[in-house]
């Protein structure tokens, strides 16, 4: 990163902390034995403080070096198709992780395309809940020894207390949104 950009970021953080503490530039200058003019230049990114001066400013502003330099990663809210992770099995079934960072979240949405006369793996009971919405086609949901047919425009929801799997018993592809909480895939 260019030095000028670093100076501007440091200056903005100092100004933000000063405002949070409800201090004027003069009050901060008095606490740090600097001039009001230097504080102004610093906040505008026109000067670079020495390490000792910066540490003193950070302390006077009620922060720590770790907090001051911690960069928050922007929260991802929208995910494009280019970001999806896809796994295609030997039968051509596709599972897309449509929120690539979902493993760290409390739920994991998948977009599943199930080819005709194919099925997904059988999964065992665990502490979880699963929800699905069939976008196209028709699937057969197997929960223990019970079976449910779910058509396009219908949804399913269950607690994962029994072995389960999903299959497509038709001659047409099926596509459904599948959400698991907590993530398991």
- 108-137 pLDDT, tens digit per residue, is 899 999 999 999 988 888 888 999 999 999
Outline which parts of the chain fall under CATH 1.10.260.40. Answer: 3-69
SS3 state of residue 61 = coil
Q: Can you give the pLDDT at residue 183?
A: 77
Q: In what order do the strands lie in the sheet with 108-114?
A: 85-88, 94-97, 108-114, 174-181, 129-136, 155-159
**Whole-number Å distance between alpha carbons of 170 and 86:** 23
Asked if the model's pLDDT at residue 30 lies above 80, the reply is: yes
Superfamily holding 3-69 = lambda repressor-like DNA-binding domains (1.10.260.40)
Contact criterion met (CB below 8 Å) for 113 and 94? yes
Answer whether residue 98 shows pLDDT above 60: yes
pTM over 0.75: no
**CA-based nearest residue to 159, from 177, 141, 143:** 143
- List every span in the chain annotated with CATH 2.60.120.10: 81-181
How many residues make up the chain in this entry?
A: 185
Residue 103: pLDDT above 80? no
Evaluate if residue 81 carries a pLDDT over 70. yes
The stretch 145-163 carries a mean pLDDT of 94
User: Which CATH superfamily is 81-181 part of?
Assistant: Jelly Rolls (2.60.120.10)
d(CA 114, CA 98): 16
Give the pLDDT band of residue 1 (cuts 50, 70, 90): low
pLDDT tens per residue across span 14-28: 999 999 999 999 999
């Amino acid at each position: 990163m260019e030095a000028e950009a670093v100076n501007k970021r440091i200056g903005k953080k100092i100004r933000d902390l000063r405002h949070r503490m409800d201090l004027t530039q003069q009050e901060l200058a008095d606490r740090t034995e600097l001039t009001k003019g230097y504080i102004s230049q610093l906040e505008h990114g026109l000067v670079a403080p020495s390490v000792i001066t910066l540490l003193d400013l950070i302390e006077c502003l009620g922060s720590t070096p770790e907090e001051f330099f911690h960069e928050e990663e922007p929260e991802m809210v929208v995910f494009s198709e280019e970001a999806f992770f896809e796994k295609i099995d030997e039968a051509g079934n596709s599972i897309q992780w449509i929120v690539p960072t979902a493993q760290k979240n409390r739920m994991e949405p998948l977009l599943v395309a199930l080819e005709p006369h194919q099925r997904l793996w059988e999964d065992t009971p665990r502490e979880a809940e699963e929800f699905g919405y069939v976008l196209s086609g028709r699937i057969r949901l197997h929960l223990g020894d019970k079976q449910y047919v779910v058509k396009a425009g219908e949804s399913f929801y269950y607690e994962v207390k029994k072995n389960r799997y999903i299959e497509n018993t038709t001659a047409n592809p099926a596509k459904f949104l599948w959400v698991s909480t907590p993530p398991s895939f």
